[in-house]
Amino acid sequence: MLLTRIKGPRDLDRLSQEELERLAAEIRTFLVDAVSKTGGHLGPNLGVVELTIALHRVFDSPKDKVLFDTGHQAYVHKLLTGRQDFGGLRTKGGLSGYPSRAESEHDVIENSHASTVLGWADGFAKANEVLGKEDHHVAAVIGDGALTGGMAWEALNNIAAAKDRPLVIVVNDNERSYGPTIGGLANHLATLRTTDGYERFLARGKDLLERTPVVGKPLYETLHGAKKGLKDFIAPQGMFEDLGLKYIGPIDGHDIEALESALQRAKRFSGPVIVHCLTQKGRGYEPAVQDEADRFHAVGVIHPDTGLPVSTDAASWTSVFADEMVKLGRDRKDIVAITAAMLQPVGLKKFADAYPDRIFDVGIAEQHGATSAAGLASGGAHPVFAVYATFLNRAFDQVLMDVALHKCGVTFVLDRAGVTGTDGASHNGMWDMSILQVVPGLRLAAPRDAEQLRAQLNEAVLVKDAPTVVRFSKGVVGPAVPAIGKIGGMDVLRRPADEVTRPDVLLVSVGALAPMCLEIADLLDKQGISTTVVDPRWVKPVDEALAPLADRHRVVVTVEDNSRSGGVGSAVAQALRDAGVDVPLRDFGIPQRFLDHATRKEVMAEIGLTAPDIARQVTGLVAKLDGRYDSEPAAAVD
């Protein structure tokens, strides 16, 4: 196999064009076989095989910086830079699903949030200029979907201003992000894709004029020099050039020779250049090509021959939300939904099918989505903005200053909150409950099961004068966790088995960790430690009944699937201080560090967020209160 002979990018230099085509076919076969066993981002990588080969033939990584936006299309890049063991892809100790600096000197950016690459590229190009690195080049690959993000255009504005600073921007145009790309930019790129009148006109003109004696060749060169005017007349593609960016394309993104030629021309240019490449997401794998939803953007374990899942999961948190949104839309005509280019992943496809006039895809533009939601709310609608928890980080200022300051009734639904696992550091939704604690008036719900998700979503959309947030985990929703009573707005999930005047522990369970908290209580009970378990349901603001309840216990313990820094535990501690309740409190959550990719269960074990770990530490704390230990064990793994 040719692929096994590729240990680094320079090994590509020895291959003929015919061998390069064979290599591309081998890579596609490898990807389908490997990713079908582990799951991962299949469609995007099948679409960039030839483009990645051409990039590494033209540019000299790692001296030259080859940057990938988002990074979910970097599997081919990994293969060409010496990483061909995909057996542990996205598992603990195996290859990351995104570029990773720990893996290779060829990996530059490992943040897998979209629309950032042009900012990185601008910085690297400036550094080359300042430090006199004239023989260093920067090539940034950005998808047409990522170009819907505002950051990309902020960067383009700066890049275009430096007309003599070399930088190659490769637009990987496959008409999609997760699903089909939406918006004005998408329409413009579609025009460029489908208008070949200019190229046909120029080719025919060249043939005719070069056969004309004396004046033919000079006249052709004059017309060719007027290229921009002709293009504007024949094909309306002046947008990039009007910004001051040299434009090359559109190029067939699956023609290695054409790609190399375009990239070489761009590399030689002394300023910023756009190379517009047309690619097909999922290319070479028929099940992906036929998948209209997202072309196998991300798959679980599948049968490689059919593309069908090996197993069918039980109901997920996302599917429960999806069904409830359809019911809400039926009952309330003012309910509208917003997605940031992730209609299917966040569960809004059913709503879109049922109410196509009430769904708005803003593209990869969470900031705009939040402010647009404020406008919708002020105009009389009630928007539900469904987004991954990690991506709401990008819209914090808009949540604070546009939604909350203006007391707008907007509901944010945060999918994949807490530890998500296999996608790695940038996809864990572990900051939302910390960040949102500082937003005045905002109310935040953390449902523990499917029934509570439905109930709290319905409660959230009733709020008209403040933002509301409903957050839930990735994956399968667990069994129902019934309440046995109520204190204030909190559900009581467990009381001490025996009547005691002052129970030892008040355990505050947040969201989907309720089953684990009940397990902790069982373990404590075996140690003779009496425990009350409550689920606040709405964790912001802290329920007024919590402080007096805490005062009737010897110690308070909070358990949350969120960063310990500034999270629910911190808010509960402040509420107890404000109420003058002086009881020891221990908060358990995610330590303040970036977490490596692994399964959710493995990550939780690594950070000590398991029932045995927590029960052991709480037992030590109670023992100290009883005077049985001279020193207190560590309160948490951090």
User: What does the radius of gyration of the chain's CA atoms come to, in whole angstroms?
Assistant: 28
> Is 394 one of the annotated active-site residues of the chain?
yes
Distance, in Å, from the CA atom of 536 to the CA atom of 452, rounded to the nearest integer, reads 12
Given the residues 90, 231, 394, 443, select the one marked as catalytic.
394
Here the tokens at position 238 are 């002046």
Here the tokens at position 32 are 């389908």
Contacts of residue 295, Cβ cutoff 8 Å, sequence gap at least 6: 43, 47, 176, 281, 282, 288, 289
CA distances from 178 to 191, 282, 351, 414, 475 (A): 21, 12, 17, 18, 19
∠291-357-297 over CA atoms, to 5°?
20
SS3 annotation, 12-74: HHHCCHHHHHHHHHHHHHHHHHHHHHHCECCHHHHCCHHHHHHHHHHCCCCCCEEEECCCCCC
Whether the Cβ atoms of residue 97 and residue 72 lie closer than 8 Å to each other: yes
> Is 366 one of the annotated active-site residues of the chain?
yes
Distance, in Å, from the CA atom of 234 to the CA atom of 492, rounded to the nearest integer, reads 70
What does residue 454 show for φ and ψ, rounded to 5 degrees?
Answer: -65, -45
CA distances from 434 to 238, 445, 482, 526, 613 (A): 45, 13, 27, 33, 23
> Is 281 one of the annotated active-site residues of the chain?
yes
Given the residues 78, 176, 246, 281, select the one marked as catalytic.
281
Distance, in Å, from the CA atom of 181 to the CA atom of 69, rounded to the nearest integer, reads 16
Distance, in Å, from the CA atom of 321 to the CA atom of 110, rounded to the nearest integer, reads 30
Distance, in Å, from the CA atom of 618 to the CA atom of 500, rounded to the nearest integer, reads 19
Known catalytic residues are: 281, 366, 394
